[in-house]
Every structure is written in structure tokens, then in C-alpha cells.
Amino acid sequence: MTRTRTALAATVKQFARTPVLLALLVFLPAYFVGLLGIVLPDSSVVASVPSATVETTLGAAVLPMLATLAAVMVAGIAGLFLTVNTLDADGWLALAGLPSRTLFAARATALSAAAVVASLASTAVLFVHVAPDQPAVFFAATLVLAVTYGLLGAVVGVVLDKLAGVYVMLFAPAVDLFLFHSPLASDAAPWAAAFPGRWAGVAATDAALTGDPNWGALAVGVAYLGGVAVVAALAVRHAVTT
């Protein structure tokens, strides 16, 4: 337990030494949700989710998805930066006898905390303009997707540097949520179900637009998160022990 706490404290200090993450935490929700909530027109649109098709305003249809996207991008970039910044140090700590699973547990805990803060910030800004029909489920689904992309960011950080990794962690969630699984988009291709937004992202949108939560999609999203956690743990372990 002492080792885990020590590794966790070091991880928190690393976050504090990365001001760009703190800036993103404020900027992305404020820009994606706060600013666009002001400028989007009040025109009526038809939004489609698996459980229903509803007629609503453009802001009510788009802003919840953008709130989830903002949290996901912050968490993904946090996972990327955390891995890139600590990989060499983790290798030395592993050589010194600190188990790689302890290191990963500390990093994953700090990353999950960052995802909680990002999800809370995005949901809070969303409430300025639109109140989700199921706010607790919306937050839970957003958090699941944010942690998933945070761990995917850790995997990307193992194989790419910061610059290339940032492009990946900005582009991938945007394509996933904004193109493939937007409530305003047409039916996505079957292979788009391989993206995590098909599950937790769709559950978040469903919770925002309808009073009937999509528990099935959220459950698959949690299972997807578990699979990504295993992949991330193996990737980080391989990187720090070779």
C-alpha cells in the first residue's frame, strides 16, 4: 500500500507539472459547450438514438455529445502525457524493485481522477445550456468513455511521441463521436461498433435526450473499458520492463 501511495503521489505531482492539462480542463468544456451553446441556432432538428427518434433543438441534440467529447479529449491527452512523461522513470523504478502492476495502478488511479474532474466540468458547463434527461446516467457514461480514452491515450503514449500522440487523441474521439455516433448522423458502418463511442458514448447521448437509459450500451461500454485496461496494463508493463 505504501508503494502504491508513493507512486500515486508522484503521478499527481507529474500532473501538476503539466499546466497544459489544467488549461485543457478549462478550455475544452468552455469552448465546446459554453461558447457553442451561445452561438448555435435554435432551429429544430431530428436526433436519433437507438431507443428513440426525437425532435429537439440543435443545441439540445449536439451539446451533450460535445460535452462528452470534451471530457474524452482531456482524459485521452492526460493519459498520453502521463505515459510519455513517466515512462523512463517507471523503467528505473521497475529496475529498483517497484512492481509494474503497482506503477500501473497508481497511474490508472490518477488518470481516472482526471477523467472524473473532466466529466464533472463538462457536465457542469452543459447544464448552463441544456439539462440531460438522465443527468446521473449521462455523467456515468461520459466518465466510462473518458477513462476508456484515457487508457487508450496511455497505450498511444507507449508507441508515439507527444506530437503524434496528441493528433491521434484529438482526431480519434472526434471521428468516433462527431462523425460515427452523432445523434444527427446517418447510420454508421457496422465496423464503427469497434470504437468505444458506440457504447458508452451512445449511452451518454441516450441519457441526454430520452428518459429511458440505454443500460445495455453502458454495460458493453464498461466491459470495453475493462478490455482496454488489460491492454494498457500489458503495454505499459512491456514498455517499463524492456
The pLDDT profile of the chain, 242 residues, written as one tens digit per residue, is 565 566 566 556 666 666 777 677 777 787 778 888 888 888 889 888 887 888 899 999 999 999 999 999 999 998 998 888 776 666 655 655 666 677 788 888 888 988 998 999 999 999 999 999 999 999 999 999 999 999 999 999 999 988 899 999 999 999 999 889 989 876 777 888 899 999 999 999 999 999 888 999 999 999 999 999 999 999 988 777 76
Name the packing angle between helices 100-129 and 2-16 (round to 10°): 50
**Looking at residue 3, what is its pLDDT?**
58
Q: What secondary structure letter does DSSP report for 194?
A: G
Of 77, 79, 63, nearest to 177 (Cα)? 63
pLDDT for 53 equals 85
pTM for this predicted structure: 0.90
For residue 206 the three cell numbers come to 441516450
**Cβ 74 vs Cβ 112: under 8 Å:** no
pLDDT at 15: 61
Measured between its terminal Cα atoms, the distance across the chain in Å is: 25
Using DSSP's 3-state secondary structure scheme, residue 58 falls into: helix
Indicate the angle between helix axes 58-95 and 162-173, nearest 10 degrees: 150
Residue 217 C-alpha cell reads as 450500451
CA 153 to chain CA mean position, Å: 9
Q: Collapsing DSSP states into helix, strand and coil, what is residue 52?
A: strand
The amino acid occupying position 193 is A
